A and B are shown apart, each in its own frame.
Chain A
Amino acid sequence: MMGNQACAEGVIAAGCGFAAGYPITPASEVFNALAKQLPMAGGTLLQTEDEISAICAAIGASWAGLKSFTVTSGPGISLMQENIGLAVATETPLVIVDVQRLGPSTGVPAIGVAGDMVQVARGSHGDYQIIAICPESPQEMFDMTVHAFNLAEEYRVPVFVMAEGFVGHMRERVVIPDESQIKLINRKITQGGEPLTRRDFLDPDVAPMPVFGRGFKAHVTSSCHDEYGMRNLHDPDVMHRYIMMPIQKILSKRDRIVEVEADYEGARLVLISYGSVSRSSRQAAAMARAAGLKVGTLRLKTAWPFPDKEVRAAAESADSVLVLENNTGQMYPYIKAESAHACKIDFLGPQVLGQIHDPQYILAKIREIMK
Protein backbone atom coordinates (compact mmCIF):
# COMPACT_ATOMS: atom_id res chain seq x y z
CA MET A 1 0.00 0.00 0.00
CA MET A 2 1.17 3.52 -0.77
CA GLY A 3 2.16 5.62 2.26
CA ASN A 4 -0.42 8.27 1.49
CA GLN A 5 -3.15 5.64 1.26
CA ALA A 6 -2.01 4.20 4.59
CA CYS A 7 -2.30 7.68 6.05
CA ALA A 8 -5.91 7.94 4.84
CA GLU A 9 -6.63 4.54 6.41
CA GLY A 10 -5.20 5.91 9.67
CA VAL A 11 -7.46 8.97 9.49
CA ILE A 12 -10.49 6.71 9.24
CA ALA A 13 -9.27 4.27 11.90
CA ALA A 14 -8.78 7.21 14.28
CA GLY A 15 -12.45 8.17 13.98
CA CYS A 16 -11.91 11.44 12.16
CA GLY A 17 -15.16 13.35 11.74
CA PHE A 18 -14.05 16.14 9.43
CA ALA A 19 -11.30 16.55 6.85
CA ALA A 20 -10.60 19.67 4.82
CA GLY A 21 -7.95 20.01 2.17
CA TYR A 22 -6.74 21.55 -1.05
CA PRO A 23 -5.01 19.61 -3.84
CA ILE A 24 -1.21 19.61 -3.63
CA THR A 25 1.58 17.28 -4.76
CA PRO A 26 2.87 15.02 -3.15
CA ALA A 27 0.05 14.92 -0.61
CA SER A 28 -3.02 14.71 -2.85
CA GLU A 29 -3.46 10.93 -2.60
CA VAL A 30 -4.34 11.25 1.08
CA PHE A 31 -7.22 13.61 0.43
CA ASN A 32 -8.26 11.80 -2.75
CA ALA A 33 -8.62 8.57 -0.79
CA LEU A 34 -10.50 10.31 2.02
CA ALA A 35 -12.92 11.88 -0.47
CA LYS A 36 -14.10 8.39 -1.29
CA GLN A 37 -13.71 6.67 2.07
CA LEU A 38 -14.44 9.22 4.80
CA PRO A 39 -18.13 9.84 3.97
CA MET A 40 -18.67 6.07 3.98
CA ALA A 41 -17.14 5.97 7.47
CA GLY A 42 -19.53 8.66 8.70
CA GLY A 43 -17.24 11.65 8.38
CA THR A 44 -17.55 14.83 6.37
CA LEU A 45 -15.08 16.19 3.87
CA LEU A 46 -14.67 19.60 2.29
CA GLN A 47 -12.35 20.63 -0.53
CA THR A 48 -11.68 24.25 0.26
CA GLU A 49 -10.69 27.24 -1.87
CA ASP A 50 -7.18 27.27 -0.39
CA GLU A 51 -5.11 25.86 2.47
CA ILE A 52 -5.95 28.80 4.71
CA SER A 53 -9.60 27.88 4.48
CA ALA A 54 -8.74 24.20 5.01
CA ILE A 55 -7.06 24.72 8.36
CA CYS A 56 -9.69 27.25 9.48
CA ALA A 57 -12.54 24.89 8.62
CA ALA A 58 -10.74 22.04 10.39
CA ILE A 59 -10.32 24.18 13.51
CA GLY A 60 -13.99 25.21 13.34
CA ALA A 61 -15.08 21.57 13.03
CA SER A 62 -12.86 20.63 15.96
CA TRP A 63 -14.71 23.21 18.07
CA ALA A 64 -17.93 21.67 16.78
CA GLY A 65 -16.73 18.52 18.56
CA LEU A 66 -15.28 16.48 15.71
CA LYS A 67 -11.84 14.96 15.36
CA SER A 68 -10.46 17.14 12.60
CA PHE A 69 -7.83 16.78 9.95
CA THR A 70 -6.08 18.47 7.09
CA VAL A 71 -3.26 17.38 4.82
CA THR A 72 -0.90 19.40 2.68
CA SER A 73 2.72 19.98 1.67
CA GLY A 74 5.21 22.79 2.32
CA PRO A 75 3.50 25.58 0.36
CA GLY A 76 0.24 24.74 2.12
CA ILE A 77 1.93 24.78 5.53
CA SER A 78 3.32 28.22 4.69
CA LEU A 79 -0.23 29.44 4.02
CA MET A 80 -1.58 27.80 7.17
CA GLN A 81 0.96 29.31 9.54
CA GLU A 82 -1.15 32.12 10.99
CA ASN A 83 -3.94 29.75 11.90
CA ILE A 84 -1.60 27.09 13.23
CA GLY A 85 -0.95 29.80 15.82
CA LEU A 86 -4.70 30.18 16.37
CA ALA A 87 -5.03 26.43 16.96
CA VAL A 88 -2.21 26.60 19.51
CA ALA A 89 -3.63 29.69 21.23
CA THR A 90 -7.17 28.31 21.42
CA GLU A 91 -5.87 24.82 22.36
CA THR A 92 -7.64 23.11 19.49
CA PRO A 93 -7.09 19.40 18.79
CA LEU A 94 -6.12 19.07 15.14
CA VAL A 95 -4.04 16.73 12.98
CA ILE A 96 -2.05 18.13 10.07
CA VAL A 97 -0.21 15.73 7.79
CA ASP A 98 2.64 17.40 5.93
CA VAL A 99 3.91 15.34 3.01
CA GLN A 100 6.98 17.49 2.53
CA ARG A 101 8.52 18.42 -0.81
CA LEU A 102 11.54 20.21 -2.23
CA GLY A 103 11.48 23.97 -1.71
CA PRO A 104 11.79 26.89 -1.35
CA SER A 105 8.81 28.25 -3.28
CA THR A 106 7.15 25.97 -5.81
CA GLY A 107 10.40 23.98 -5.95
CA VAL A 108 9.94 20.37 -7.07
CA PRO A 109 6.52 19.07 -6.05
CA ALA A 110 7.16 15.36 -6.48
CA ILE A 111 10.57 15.21 -4.77
CA GLY A 112 10.61 14.52 -1.05
CA VAL A 113 12.80 16.79 1.05
CA ALA A 114 12.18 17.31 4.75
CA GLY A 115 11.95 21.03 4.24
CA ASP A 116 9.35 21.97 6.85
CA MET A 117 10.91 20.54 10.00
CA VAL A 118 11.40 23.93 11.62
CA GLN A 119 8.55 25.85 10.03
CA VAL A 120 5.91 23.59 11.59
CA ALA A 121 7.34 24.27 15.03
CA ARG A 122 8.46 27.88 14.68
CA GLY A 123 6.69 29.25 11.60
CA SER A 124 3.73 31.00 13.20
CA HIS A 125 4.44 34.20 15.06
CA GLY A 126 4.94 34.14 18.81
CA ASP A 127 6.25 31.48 21.17
CA TYR A 128 4.54 28.11 21.35
CA GLN A 129 4.97 24.34 21.31
CA ILE A 130 3.34 21.83 18.98
CA ILE A 131 3.87 18.10 18.54
CA ALA A 132 5.48 16.69 15.38
CA ILE A 133 6.19 13.05 14.62
CA CYS A 134 8.15 11.52 11.75
CA PRO A 135 7.07 8.35 9.93
CA GLU A 136 9.70 6.36 8.03
CA SER A 137 7.44 3.87 6.24
CA PRO A 138 3.92 3.35 4.90
CA GLN A 139 3.19 1.28 8.01
CA GLU A 140 4.07 4.26 10.16
CA MET A 141 1.97 6.52 7.93
CA PHE A 142 -0.91 4.49 9.31
CA ASP A 143 0.33 4.04 12.89
CA MET A 144 1.53 7.60 13.38
CA THR A 145 -1.60 9.14 11.86
CA VAL A 146 -3.70 7.29 14.45
CA HIS A 147 -1.19 8.26 17.14
CA ALA A 148 -1.32 11.90 16.02
CA PHE A 149 -5.10 11.99 16.57
CA ASN A 150 -4.59 10.51 20.04
CA LEU A 151 -1.94 13.11 20.92
CA ALA A 152 -4.08 15.96 19.55
CA GLU A 153 -7.12 14.85 21.53
CA GLU A 154 -5.18 14.21 24.72
CA TYR A 155 -3.24 17.49 24.76
CA ARG A 156 -5.58 19.84 22.84
CA VAL A 157 -2.84 20.81 20.42
CA PRO A 158 -2.15 20.68 16.68
CA VAL A 159 -0.10 17.58 15.86
CA PHE A 160 1.94 17.27 12.67
CA VAL A 161 2.79 14.05 10.89
CA MET A 162 6.02 14.97 9.10
CA ALA A 163 6.02 12.63 6.16
CA GLU A 164 7.88 13.54 3.01
CA GLY A 165 7.28 12.68 -0.61
CA PHE A 166 9.38 9.51 -0.39
CA VAL A 167 7.38 8.04 2.48
CA GLY A 168 4.09 9.30 1.07
CA HIS A 169 4.69 7.66 -2.31
CA MET A 170 6.55 4.58 -1.02
CA ARG A 171 4.70 1.28 -1.44
CA GLU A 172 5.18 -1.38 1.20
CA ARG A 173 3.20 -3.98 3.03
CA VAL A 174 0.97 -2.32 5.63
CA VAL A 175 -0.83 -4.18 8.39
CA ILE A 176 -4.04 -2.50 9.49
CA PRO A 177 -5.02 -4.00 12.83
CA ASP A 178 -8.55 -4.94 13.72
CA GLU A 179 -10.58 -2.03 15.07
CA SER A 180 -10.58 -3.59 18.54
CA GLN A 181 -6.77 -3.55 18.59
CA ILE A 182 -6.47 0.19 17.91
CA LYS A 183 -6.35 2.32 21.03
CA LEU A 184 -8.17 5.63 20.57
CA ILE A 185 -8.18 8.66 22.84
CA ASN A 186 -11.02 11.19 22.84
CA ARG A 187 -10.78 14.70 24.19
CA LYS A 188 -12.16 15.47 27.62
CA ILE A 189 -15.24 17.68 27.38
CA THR A 190 -16.41 20.27 29.87
CA GLN A 191 -19.00 18.97 32.30
CA GLY A 192 -21.00 22.19 32.31
CA GLY A 193 -21.50 25.23 34.49
CA GLU A 194 -21.16 28.88 33.58
CA PRO A 195 -18.02 29.97 31.66
CA LEU A 196 -16.72 32.04 34.58
CA THR A 197 -16.95 29.08 36.96
CA ARG A 198 -15.02 26.81 34.61
CA ARG A 199 -11.43 26.79 33.50
CA ASP A 200 -11.61 26.15 29.78
CA PHE A 201 -8.05 27.23 28.92
CA LEU A 202 -4.46 27.60 30.12
CA ASP A 203 -4.31 24.47 32.25
CA PRO A 204 -0.89 22.76 31.99
CA ASP A 205 -2.73 19.52 32.73
CA VAL A 206 -5.08 20.14 29.76
CA ALA A 207 -8.44 21.78 30.45
CA PRO A 208 -11.59 19.93 29.35
CA MET A 209 -12.80 21.45 26.09
CA PRO A 210 -16.05 23.48 26.01
CA VAL A 211 -17.03 22.29 22.54
CA PHE A 212 -19.74 24.19 20.73
CA GLY A 213 -23.38 23.31 20.38
CA ARG A 214 -23.99 21.99 23.90
CA GLY A 215 -24.97 25.18 25.67
CA PHE A 216 -21.56 25.79 27.27
CA LYS A 217 -21.51 29.40 25.98
CA ALA A 218 -17.81 29.00 25.28
CA HIS A 219 -15.81 32.13 24.61
CA VAL A 220 -13.01 31.24 22.24
CA THR A 221 -10.68 33.93 21.00
CA SER A 222 -7.35 34.13 19.25
CA SER A 223 -6.58 37.20 21.35
CA CYS A 224 -4.72 36.91 24.63
CA HIS A 225 -7.17 35.39 27.11
CA ASP A 226 -7.42 34.13 30.65
CA GLU A 227 -8.38 30.70 32.00
CA TYR A 228 -12.05 31.44 31.27
CA GLY A 229 -11.30 32.31 27.64
CA MET A 230 -12.07 35.99 28.20
CA ARG A 231 -9.98 38.45 26.24
CA ASN A 232 -7.45 40.30 28.37
CA LEU A 233 -5.12 42.83 26.76
CA HIS A 234 -4.07 44.74 29.86
CA ASP A 235 -2.86 42.34 32.58
CA PRO A 236 0.79 41.32 32.18
CA ASP A 237 0.24 38.22 34.33
CA VAL A 238 -2.49 37.01 31.99
CA MET A 239 -0.25 37.68 28.97
CA HIS A 240 2.48 35.63 30.62
CA ARG A 241 0.14 32.72 31.34
CA TYR A 242 -1.42 32.96 27.85
CA ILE A 243 2.00 32.20 26.38
CA MET A 244 3.48 29.95 29.06
CA MET A 245 0.63 27.60 29.98
CA PRO A 246 0.14 26.09 26.50
CA ILE A 247 3.93 25.69 26.29
CA GLN A 248 4.11 24.04 29.71
CA LYS A 249 1.17 21.83 28.80
CA ILE A 250 3.45 20.19 26.22
CA LEU A 251 6.86 20.48 27.85
CA SER A 252 5.73 19.18 31.25
CA LYS A 253 4.42 16.05 29.49
CA ARG A 254 7.40 15.69 27.15
CA ASP A 255 8.53 12.39 28.71
CA ARG A 256 5.19 10.86 27.75
CA ILE A 257 5.14 12.46 24.31
CA VAL A 258 8.72 12.07 23.07
CA GLU A 259 9.61 8.78 21.39
CA VAL A 260 12.97 7.74 20.00
CA GLU A 261 14.50 4.48 18.82
CA ALA A 262 17.90 4.11 20.47
CA ASP A 263 20.35 1.45 19.31
CA TYR A 264 23.79 2.74 20.26
CA GLU A 265 24.98 0.71 23.23
CA GLY A 266 28.77 0.59 23.18
CA ALA A 267 28.90 2.71 20.05
CA ARG A 268 31.65 5.31 19.56
CA LEU A 269 29.70 7.05 16.80
CA VAL A 270 25.95 7.60 16.84
CA LEU A 271 23.98 8.35 13.68
CA ILE A 272 21.04 10.63 14.47
CA SER A 273 18.21 10.83 11.95
CA TYR A 274 14.44 10.89 11.45
CA GLY A 275 11.93 10.07 8.73
CA SER A 276 12.95 8.13 5.64
CA VAL A 277 16.66 8.81 6.26
CA SER A 278 16.48 6.50 9.29
CA ARG A 279 16.17 3.56 6.91
CA SER A 280 19.53 4.40 5.27
CA SER A 281 20.97 5.16 8.69
CA ARG A 282 20.14 1.69 10.05
CA GLN A 283 21.54 0.05 6.93
CA ALA A 284 24.76 2.08 7.12
CA ALA A 285 25.15 1.24 10.83
CA ALA A 286 24.70 -2.47 10.09
CA MET A 287 27.33 -2.28 7.36
CA ALA A 288 29.72 -0.41 9.66
CA ARG A 289 29.25 -2.93 12.47
CA ALA A 290 29.86 -5.77 10.04
CA ALA A 291 33.14 -4.01 9.24
CA GLY A 292 33.99 -3.88 12.94
CA LEU A 293 33.16 -0.21 13.52
CA LYS A 294 31.30 0.66 16.72
CA VAL A 295 28.40 2.60 15.22
CA GLY A 296 24.93 3.04 16.68
CA THR A 297 21.74 4.85 15.74
CA LEU A 298 19.29 7.20 17.36
CA ARG A 299 16.06 7.75 15.46
CA LEU A 300 13.88 10.69 16.44
CA LYS A 301 10.31 9.48 16.05
CA THR A 302 9.28 12.73 17.70
CA ALA A 303 10.78 15.92 16.28
CA TRP A 304 8.82 18.32 18.50
CA PRO A 305 8.85 18.76 21.41
CA PHE A 306 12.55 18.38 20.68
CA PRO A 307 14.06 15.20 22.19
CA ASP A 308 16.79 17.16 23.98
CA LYS A 309 17.48 14.66 26.78
CA GLU A 310 17.61 11.71 24.41
CA VAL A 311 20.03 13.47 22.06
CA ARG A 312 22.20 14.57 25.01
CA ALA A 313 22.35 11.02 26.38
CA ALA A 314 23.48 9.70 23.00
CA ALA A 315 26.10 12.42 22.59
CA GLU A 316 27.45 11.85 26.10
CA SER A 317 27.84 8.13 25.47
CA ALA A 318 29.89 8.45 22.30
CA ASP A 319 32.93 10.15 20.76
CA SER A 320 31.02 11.60 17.88
CA VAL A 321 27.59 12.15 16.45
CA LEU A 322 26.72 12.26 12.77
CA VAL A 323 23.43 13.94 11.95
CA LEU A 324 21.71 12.70 8.79
CA GLU A 325 18.89 14.76 7.35
CA ASN A 326 17.17 14.93 4.00
CA ASN A 327 17.67 18.72 3.84
CA THR A 328 20.50 21.18 4.47
CA GLY A 329 20.40 20.64 8.22
CA GLN A 330 17.15 21.90 9.71
CA MET A 331 17.25 19.95 12.98
CA TYR A 332 21.06 20.05 13.08
CA PRO A 333 21.39 23.25 15.17
CA TYR A 334 19.00 21.83 17.79
CA ILE A 335 20.88 18.52 17.88
CA LYS A 336 24.21 20.34 17.97
CA ALA A 337 23.07 22.43 20.93
CA GLU A 338 22.55 19.23 22.95
CA SER A 339 25.68 17.44 21.69
CA ALA A 340 28.54 19.86 21.15
CA HIS A 341 29.55 19.91 24.83
CA ALA A 342 30.04 16.16 24.86
CA CYS A 343 31.44 15.02 21.56
CA LYS A 344 32.42 15.84 18.01
CA ILE A 345 29.42 16.51 15.78
CA ASP A 346 29.04 16.41 12.00
CA PHE A 347 26.24 16.80 9.50
CA LEU A 348 25.63 14.83 6.34
CA GLY A 349 22.90 15.74 3.87
CA PRO A 350 22.12 13.51 0.89
CA GLN A 351 24.66 13.24 -1.96
CA VAL A 352 22.38 15.47 -4.00
CA LEU A 353 19.43 17.17 -2.34
CA GLY A 354 16.27 15.29 -3.12
CA GLN A 355 18.04 11.92 -3.25
CA ILE A 356 17.80 9.27 -0.59
CA HIS A 357 21.02 8.83 1.41
CA ASP A 358 22.93 5.90 -0.05
CA PRO A 359 24.12 3.71 2.88
CA GLN A 360 27.53 3.35 1.16
CA TYR A 361 27.81 7.12 1.09
CA ILE A 362 27.01 7.29 4.83
CA LEU A 363 29.52 4.50 5.48
CA ALA A 364 32.24 6.46 3.69
CA LYS A 365 31.54 9.43 5.97
CA ILE A 366 31.60 7.13 9.04
CA ARG A 367 35.01 5.80 7.99
CA GLU A 368 36.29 9.35 7.48
CA ILE A 369 35.11 10.43 10.97
CA MET A 370 36.37 7.29 12.74
CA LYS A 371 39.70 7.25 10.90
Chain B
Amino acid sequence: MAIASAASDSSARIEPLADPEVRLMLEVRDGNAAAFEELMLRYQKRLVTVLEHLVGKRGQAEDLAQEVFLRVYRARQSYVPASKFSTWLFTIANNVAANAARSRSRRREVQVAAAEGDDRIATIDELALAASGLMPGRQLDKAELREVVQAALATLSERQRLAVLLNKFEGMNYADIATTMDMSPQAIKSLLCRAREKLREVLEPYLERGERPASP
Protein backbone atom coordinates (compact mmCIF):
# COMPACT_ATOMS: atom_id res chain seq x y z
CA MET B 1 0.00 0.00 0.00
CA ALA B 2 1.34 3.41 -0.91
CA ILE B 3 2.17 5.81 1.87
CA ALA B 4 -0.31 8.44 0.75
CA SER B 5 -3.18 5.99 0.64
CA ALA B 6 -2.10 4.52 3.94
CA ALA B 7 -2.70 7.94 5.43
CA SER B 8 -6.06 8.44 3.82
CA ASP B 9 -7.67 4.98 3.87
CA SER B 10 -7.79 4.65 7.61
CA SER B 11 -10.75 2.67 8.79
CA ALA B 12 -9.88 3.69 12.32
CA ARG B 13 -10.65 7.33 11.88
CA ILE B 14 -10.09 9.55 14.86
CA GLU B 15 -9.92 13.24 15.41
CA PRO B 16 -6.36 13.33 14.11
CA LEU B 17 -5.45 16.61 15.71
CA ALA B 18 -6.28 15.13 19.11
CA ASP B 19 -3.19 12.97 18.67
CA PRO B 20 -0.15 14.93 19.91
CA GLU B 21 2.07 13.02 17.53
CA VAL B 22 -0.04 14.02 14.57
CA ARG B 23 0.55 17.60 15.67
CA LEU B 24 4.28 16.90 15.80
CA MET B 25 4.14 15.41 12.31
CA LEU B 26 2.35 18.52 11.09
CA GLU B 27 5.21 20.53 12.54
CA VAL B 28 7.59 18.31 10.55
CA ARG B 29 5.52 19.02 7.43
CA ASP B 30 5.90 22.73 8.13
CA GLY B 31 9.66 22.45 8.25
CA ASN B 32 10.43 21.87 11.92
CA ALA B 33 13.41 19.51 11.92
CA ALA B 34 13.44 19.27 15.72
CA ALA B 35 9.88 17.88 15.64
CA PHE B 36 11.06 15.05 13.39
CA GLU B 37 13.88 14.21 15.76
CA GLU B 38 11.36 14.26 18.60
CA LEU B 39 9.16 11.76 16.77
CA MET B 40 12.20 9.60 16.14
CA LEU B 41 13.11 9.72 19.79
CA ARG B 42 9.61 8.65 20.75
CA TYR B 43 9.31 5.80 18.28
CA GLN B 44 12.75 4.43 17.57
CA LYS B 45 12.83 1.90 20.40
CA ARG B 46 9.24 0.82 19.85
CA LEU B 47 9.80 0.45 16.14
CA VAL B 48 13.05 -1.49 16.48
CA THR B 49 11.42 -3.73 19.12
CA VAL B 50 8.53 -4.65 16.83
CA LEU B 51 10.77 -5.08 13.80
CA GLU B 52 13.32 -7.16 15.70
CA HIS B 53 10.66 -9.59 16.86
CA LEU B 54 9.25 -9.59 13.34
CA VAL B 55 12.43 -10.26 11.37
CA GLY B 56 14.43 -11.93 14.14
CA LYS B 57 17.66 -9.97 13.63
CA ARG B 58 18.66 -6.85 15.48
CA GLY B 59 20.89 -5.39 12.77
CA GLN B 60 18.27 -5.84 10.11
CA ALA B 61 15.59 -4.40 12.39
CA GLU B 62 17.69 -1.24 12.85
CA ASP B 63 18.21 -0.92 9.10
CA LEU B 64 14.50 -1.30 8.47
CA ALA B 65 13.66 1.22 11.19
CA GLN B 66 15.98 3.75 9.55
CA GLU B 67 14.29 3.10 6.24
CA VAL B 68 10.90 3.70 7.87
CA PHE B 69 12.02 7.05 9.31
CA LEU B 70 13.47 8.02 5.96
CA ARG B 71 10.15 7.28 4.27
CA VAL B 72 8.29 9.25 6.92
CA TYR B 73 10.53 12.21 6.30
CA ARG B 74 10.24 11.94 2.53
CA ALA B 75 6.46 11.80 2.79
CA ARG B 76 6.27 14.82 5.08
CA GLN B 77 5.13 17.33 2.51
CA SER B 78 2.23 15.17 1.35
CA TYR B 79 1.28 14.13 4.88
CA VAL B 80 -2.46 14.31 5.52
CA PRO B 81 -3.52 13.43 9.06
CA ALA B 82 -6.18 10.79 8.57
CA SER B 83 -5.36 8.38 11.39
CA LYS B 84 -3.25 8.21 14.51
CA PHE B 85 0.42 8.84 13.82
CA SER B 86 1.38 5.43 15.20
CA THR B 87 -1.01 3.72 12.78
CA TRP B 88 0.54 5.59 9.86
CA LEU B 89 4.08 4.86 11.03
CA PHE B 90 3.48 1.14 11.48
CA THR B 91 1.70 0.97 8.12
CA ILE B 92 4.94 2.19 6.58
CA ALA B 93 6.88 -0.26 8.76
CA ASN B 94 4.67 -3.09 7.53
CA ASN B 95 5.33 -2.12 3.91
CA VAL B 96 9.07 -1.82 4.49
CA ALA B 97 9.22 -5.17 6.29
CA ALA B 98 7.14 -6.85 3.59
CA ASN B 99 9.42 -5.48 0.86
CA ALA B 100 12.45 -6.71 2.76
CA ALA B 101 10.88 -10.15 3.20
CA ARG B 102 10.15 -10.35 -0.54
CA SER B 103 13.69 -9.30 -1.28
CA ARG B 104 15.09 -11.91 1.13
CA SER B 105 12.88 -14.53 -0.36
CA ARG B 106 14.10 -13.70 -3.87
CA ARG B 107 17.67 -13.96 -2.74
CA ARG B 108 16.89 -17.32 -1.18
CA GLU B 109 18.52 -16.27 2.03
CA VAL B 110 15.69 -17.64 4.10
CA GLN B 111 14.18 -21.06 4.01
CA VAL B 112 10.46 -20.69 3.98
CA ALA B 113 8.33 -23.61 4.93
CA ALA B 114 4.94 -22.46 3.78
CA ALA B 115 1.96 -24.12 5.30
CA GLU B 116 -1.50 -22.99 4.29
CA GLY B 117 -0.14 -19.65 3.26
CA ASP B 118 1.72 -19.17 6.52
CA ASP B 119 5.46 -18.61 6.39
CA ARG B 120 6.40 -20.48 9.51
CA ILE B 121 9.88 -19.98 10.88
CA ALA B 122 10.02 -22.85 13.36
CA THR B 123 7.94 -25.93 13.93
CA ILE B 124 6.75 -27.09 17.30
CA ASP B 125 9.26 -29.92 17.17
CA GLU B 126 12.04 -27.44 16.54
CA LEU B 127 10.76 -25.41 19.42
CA ALA B 128 10.81 -28.46 21.66
CA LEU B 129 14.38 -29.12 20.58
CA ALA B 130 15.38 -25.51 21.18
CA ALA B 131 13.97 -25.64 24.66
CA SER B 132 15.32 -29.09 25.49
CA GLY B 133 17.36 -27.59 28.31
CA LEU B 134 14.13 -27.22 30.23
CA MET B 135 14.05 -30.37 32.25
CA PRO B 136 10.82 -31.41 33.93
CA GLY B 137 10.77 -30.53 37.56
CA ARG B 138 12.98 -27.57 37.09
CA GLN B 139 11.66 -24.09 37.75
CA LEU B 140 11.74 -21.92 34.69
CA ASP B 141 14.04 -19.01 35.28
CA LYS B 142 13.55 -15.67 33.59
CA ALA B 143 16.07 -16.13 30.80
CA GLU B 144 14.79 -19.57 29.94
CA LEU B 145 11.23 -18.43 29.96
CA ARG B 146 12.12 -15.54 27.67
CA GLU B 147 13.74 -17.98 25.25
CA VAL B 148 10.66 -20.18 25.27
CA VAL B 149 8.39 -17.20 24.62
CA GLN B 150 10.63 -16.00 21.80
CA ALA B 151 10.59 -19.45 20.24
CA ALA B 152 6.80 -19.60 20.62
CA LEU B 153 6.48 -16.27 18.86
CA ALA B 154 8.68 -17.62 16.09
CA THR B 155 6.17 -20.38 15.37
CA LEU B 156 3.64 -17.78 14.21
CA SER B 157 3.43 -16.64 10.63
CA GLU B 158 4.80 -13.18 9.90
CA ARG B 159 1.32 -11.72 9.64
CA GLN B 160 0.21 -13.31 12.88
CA ARG B 161 3.38 -12.11 14.54
CA LEU B 162 2.94 -8.52 13.39
CA ALA B 163 -0.69 -8.46 14.52
CA VAL B 164 0.34 -9.85 17.92
CA LEU B 165 3.17 -7.34 18.33
CA LEU B 166 0.98 -4.39 17.39
CA ASN B 167 -1.72 -5.54 19.75
CA LYS B 168 0.56 -6.44 22.63
CA PHE B 169 3.35 -3.86 22.42
CA GLU B 170 1.58 -0.97 20.74
CA GLY B 171 -1.79 -1.51 22.37
CA MET B 172 -3.52 -1.16 19.00
CA ASN B 173 -7.15 -2.18 18.66
CA TYR B 174 -8.39 -4.40 15.84
CA ALA B 175 -9.41 -1.44 13.68
CA ASP B 176 -5.97 0.18 13.89
CA ILE B 177 -4.22 -3.12 13.22
CA ALA B 178 -6.52 -3.64 10.24
CA THR B 179 -5.55 -0.23 8.85
CA THR B 180 -1.88 -0.89 9.45
CA MET B 181 -1.93 -4.29 7.78
CA ASP B 182 -4.40 -3.39 5.03
CA MET B 183 -6.88 -6.06 6.13
CA SER B 184 -10.45 -6.03 7.42
CA PRO B 185 -11.09 -5.90 11.19
CA GLN B 186 -12.84 -9.27 10.92
CA ALA B 187 -9.75 -10.78 9.28
CA ILE B 188 -7.61 -9.33 12.07
CA LYS B 189 -9.96 -10.82 14.64
CA SER B 190 -9.51 -14.27 13.11
CA LEU B 191 -5.77 -13.77 12.64
CA LEU B 192 -5.27 -12.81 16.28
CA CYS B 193 -7.47 -15.64 17.46
CA ARG B 194 -5.40 -18.19 15.57
CA ALA B 195 -2.20 -16.58 16.83
CA ARG B 196 -3.30 -16.66 20.45
CA GLU B 197 -4.51 -20.20 20.17
CA LYS B 198 -1.15 -21.18 18.71
CA LEU B 199 0.71 -19.44 21.52
CA ARG B 200 -1.45 -21.20 24.07
CA GLU B 201 -0.90 -24.54 22.39
CA VAL B 202 2.88 -24.08 22.39
CA LEU B 203 3.35 -22.46 25.77
CA GLU B 204 0.86 -24.30 27.93
CA PRO B 205 2.73 -27.66 28.13
CA TYR B 206 5.85 -25.86 29.32
CA LEU B 207 3.94 -23.88 31.85
CA GLU B 208 2.21 -26.98 33.06
CA ARG B 209 5.48 -28.85 33.57
CA GLY B 210 7.13 -25.85 35.17
CA GLU B 211 4.37 -25.37 37.68
CA ARG B 212 3.71 -29.00 38.54
CA PRO B 213 7.02 -30.75 38.29
CA ALA B 214 5.81 -33.73 40.26
CA SER B 215 3.01 -34.47 37.82
CA PRO B 216 3.60 -37.40 35.48
Question: Do they bind each other?
Answer: no
